Structure 1
Amino acid sequence: MNAYQIISFILIGTIIFAIDKKKEYIPVPVLLLIVGIGLSFIPFYHDVVLTEKMILHWFLPALLFVSAYEFPLKDFKKYYPAFITLSTIGMLFVAFLFAGLIYFTLGSALSLSFLAALVIAAILTPTDPVSVVNILKKSTNKDDLADVVEGESLFNDGTSVVLFTVVAGIYSNQKGFHILSFFQEFLLVSLGGILTGLIFGYIFSKIIFWLNHREYQVMVSLILAYGGFLTAEHFGVSGVLATVTAGLMLSFELEKQNREQTRNYLRGFWENINPVVLSILFIVMGLEVQKLIQLSEWWAMLVIFVLSLISREIILLISYKTIPNLRERFKFTDVHIMTWAGIKGTMSVALLLMFKDQYANQADMIISLAIGAIIISMVVQSLSIYPLSKRS
């Protein structure tokens, strides 16, 4: 991307955000995605390339950090058992159930092996905290329910990366699947990321308290968001969980020290950064769609989208029956909202691009089916979450 293209993305984003001030009926990220698809037919944008490193290293740390920093601590304390369960065991069950449904439904018609179905499921299982933060809370009056879905989304990215890494390794015949080694790797990557975030969050929150200049406090928060992520990734643990934990840790320390003025100033900065990052990311995601999708298999993409909803609904229903603070605080019909709010987006695209970089021209079917299901999810679920929540 060159400077002219980036400025044009920000300009387009500014116009869309300004027009859609309420951001309720037509979610802004979806509009940005659609604009990006339209721009893909203009030669000026043909050289724009989106890579998984761009998502993971440029965009995701900022979006995750602001989501974690803004997440209500009272709701984290109230619902953390649900967050942990849904983003770990729950997500693994969803992935394997989803893979089984894809295999038995489409395996014969598309010559998909169960392993290929599992790759698709691993890519599509994570829900998108970016989409949830910027769509769900703007389109529903169920704040507690939105917080549960957001909390699940914030933490399940760590699980999704571990699951995808193991599945992709099996797909490439580089290693076999061993349940014990999988959970060992999962615990190492996840707990290592959380520990990194705790350390960074604690140290840099103290530095922020020590500094008196607001500009320097903002600089330190940037270092915290990106430095924690890159450090964790350097040591082979979850940068996603490190950034989320660091954001929560900073928020906790600010609350404990009663630094409301500092909190508000940092919030103002990150709230200004957020729409800029979103504008660039979702427009470029739209530009990438045309390169990856094969419309001849549109019917299979639709089937996969429906199967993703079915598998998530089943596991959420079981979770609702077994997790006390979900059963006690929400209605049974709220499970349907949670299912529909599980939008696919940024993390799924990042995993898809990781897979594409490893298997370019070898797994075009998988890549096309996955990107098609992601686009359907973002458009259909995002546009319909508001009226669905009003009817529940």
Structure 2
Amino acid sequence: MIHHVEVQVLVLLLVAAFVGMGARRFRLPYTLALVVAGLALGFLDLGVLSDVELNADLLLLLLLPALLFEAAFHIDFTEFRRNLGTIFMLAVPGVLVAGGVTAVLLYFGLGSTGLVADFGWREALLFASVLAATDPVSVLALFRQLGVPKRLYLIVEGESLLNDGVAVVVFVIVTTVYGVGGAHGAETPDSLTAYSLQTFLRMGGGGILIGVALGGAFSVLTRQVDDHLIETTLTAVLAYGSFLIAEQLHCSGVLSTVFAGIVAGSYGARVGMSHSTRNAVVDFWEFAAFIANSFIFLLVGLELEPVELLHGGVAIVIAFIATVLARGTYVYAAIPLVGRLTTTPLPASWRHVLVWGGLRGSLSMVLILTLPTSFPGRGMLVTLVFGVVGLSLFVQGLSMAPLLRKLGLLVGENRHHEYDRARATLIMSRYALDELAELEGHGLIESGVAARLRRHYESQTSKAEAQARELVSNVDLSAQTAEALERLIAAERVGLRAAQHAELLDDVTAEALSVELAKRLALLDERPGGTEAELAEILGQALGPDSERAKPVE
């Protein structure tokens, strides 16, 4: 017997597939195309989708863990740790400060002016708390498509992973303080400061510890088996189990899932998974994230009510401007300070991307929907939040590519695809030869079979090397040199620490060398995504005055 919900799922999957095909064909942002498709479905008023809604249980318990785990699993932990200071400042103080500024701007822009009736500090703080988290899924997809500096991509992604959990904690605190549906069994506190600090530490720190512990247990467990089906199943258990266990213990399920994914991807997959298993796990989570994204953005489109949004248009525009101004205030003030405190400051042009790329998304919509229906300002807040999310997706999402192009950050637009293909083939063949040596060493294949396969891959390696040498004269190698130099400078820093531990130099000399390395890294981060001459000039400075300037291989 076919049930109503099964038909709904099939319809949404079919729409997602067709939208994906159309977006790929016409090179449109996939997530924005899904929102438009959801709006169109709402106008068509299909009976089968009439009772479909974006609710907390659907997003938080089914869709969100898949998105969080998939993104966290692919995080480069070395780069994440290197940029943790910047990510932390954006995801924790950034959420708190931007949320506070947003509340102030809204109170005076909507409440004290009388533009929105009965809009006081309570409504302003509730609005600011649900819109505190960024959800730049559309921007990250665009980053992958067009090509931006890897560090910029990592910072935007890392911030979005962490600030979801921070925003949920802030929302719990605000709703509990005002007695409008406190979560996690909390009661109205006697001391606001003590309660806020305790809740923040318990939910945030507890979620992180649970995620790291479960990710570590997963890593140990995967070393005991070598079956891609079992290990893929274990990753699903880890993703959803870490979320549910943390929530059951009144901690942040979001942060728990994120850190479980980071540990599983950066450590567990490396020490406990074969190449074939890791490919299977990556394919599974890529599909799961595609389905989750498709459902979320289709449901966002279905939830948007154009008529209601038009009626509140002026207030929505003011609220949208307030959120952007609040984020801009913090980013432009805090990022230069972070640069002084870290060894790798961000280029000035990246601040514009961090401000404009801070889109709001589905988490904000779901959090506002969790307010009880008896709350008198619920309808007004729902309209405001949905409107700001819609404006954010379309205005910021559609204008991001021109902004990146104007700032010269589209490093992928000038790629030489034939050379890239030859290099990729060379790398793939060498990985295959390493795997072949391991198979032969463990006695899993006969020496005759191994010799035949080795000849094939060695031949493929030789052809790829020859093709790369033939094409290299037409390729700008400055970007490749810069990326390699970043890793070599990181190795120099390890050597510097070793020299310090061995007491081969005093603290003054060590500090001077550390500052010099930091300046060279900063030069590399400031490199534009533009011409070969610009890159070569910066690389020459980063390599030092006595070195040969970066130039194409002749």
> Aligning the two structures, in what range does the TM-score lie when normalised by the shorter sequence?
over 0.9
Q: What is the one-letter code of the residue matched to 2:195? A: S
**Which sits farther off after the overlay, 318-327 or 33-42?**
318-327
Equivalent residue pairs, number: 390
The corresponding residue for 1:155 is: 162
CA shift digits 1:212-231 (9 cap, x unpaired): 21111111110010011011
The answer to whether residue 123 in structure 2 is matched with residue 116 in structure 1 is yes
Q: Counterpart amino acid of 2:141?
A: N
Tell me which residue corresponds to 2:188. 175
2:71 maps to 1:67: yes
Alignment of 1:1-392 (within 5 A): 2-21=5-24, 26-41=28-43, 42-44=45-47, 45-107=49-111, 108=113, 109-111=115-117, 112-128=119-135, 130-172=137-179, 175=188, 178-254=192-268, 256-257=270-271, 259=273, 261=275, 262-290=277-305, 293-324=308-339, 328-355=344-371, 357=372, 359=374, 362-392=377-407
Query: Are 2:226 and 2:273, in contact at CA under 8 Å, matched by a contact in 1?
Result: no
The alpha carbon displacement at 1:123 in A equals 1.0
Write the distance in 2 (CA, Å) between the matches of 1:151 and 1:350: 21
Q: Assess if the C-alpha contact under 8 Å between 2:136 and 2:360 holds in 1.
A: no
Contact 1:140 1:390 in 2 (8 A): no
Rg larger in structure? 2
Inter-CA distance 6–268: structure 2 relative to 1 (3 Å threshold): same
TM-score, length-normalised on structure 1? 0.93
Per-residue deviation, 1:65: 0.3
Q: Does the Cα contact within 8 Å between 1:116 and 1:171 map onto a contact in 2?
A: no
Query: What is the alpha-carbon distance in structure 2 between the residues aligned to residue 384 and residue 321 of structure 1?
Result: 25
Q: 1:291 Cα deviation (Å)?
A: 9.3
Structure 2, gaps ≥5 residues long: 181-186, 408-554
**Cα distance in 2 for residues equivalent to 1:299 and 1:137:** 34
> 1: CA distance between counterparts of 2:127 and 2:241?
31
Look up the equivalent residue of 1:331 and give its one-letter code: P
CA distance, structure 1, for counterparts of residue 256 and residue 108 of structure 2: 37
| Closer/same/farther in 2, CA of residues 375 and 12 from structure 1, 3 Å limit | same
Asked if the contact 2:123/2:377 (under 8 Å) is kept, the reply is: no
Q: Partners of 1:376 and 1:34 in 2: how far apart?
A: 12
8 A contact 1:321–1:327 mirrored in 2: no
C-alpha distance after superposition, 1:251-278 (max 9, x if no partner): 1214652846133321111112221221
**Alpha carbons 1:352, 1:371 under 8 Å: kept:** no
Distance 1:293 1:78, change over 3 A: farther
What is the root-mean-square deviation in Å for CA atoms of aligned residues?
A: 2.2
Alpha-carbon separation, structure 2, partners of 1:322 and 1:264: 41
Rate the CA distance shift 1:280–1:255 in 2: closer, same or farther, 3 A: closer
% identical aligned pairs:
29
Where structure 1 has 5 or more consecutive residues not aligned to the other structure, the ranges are none
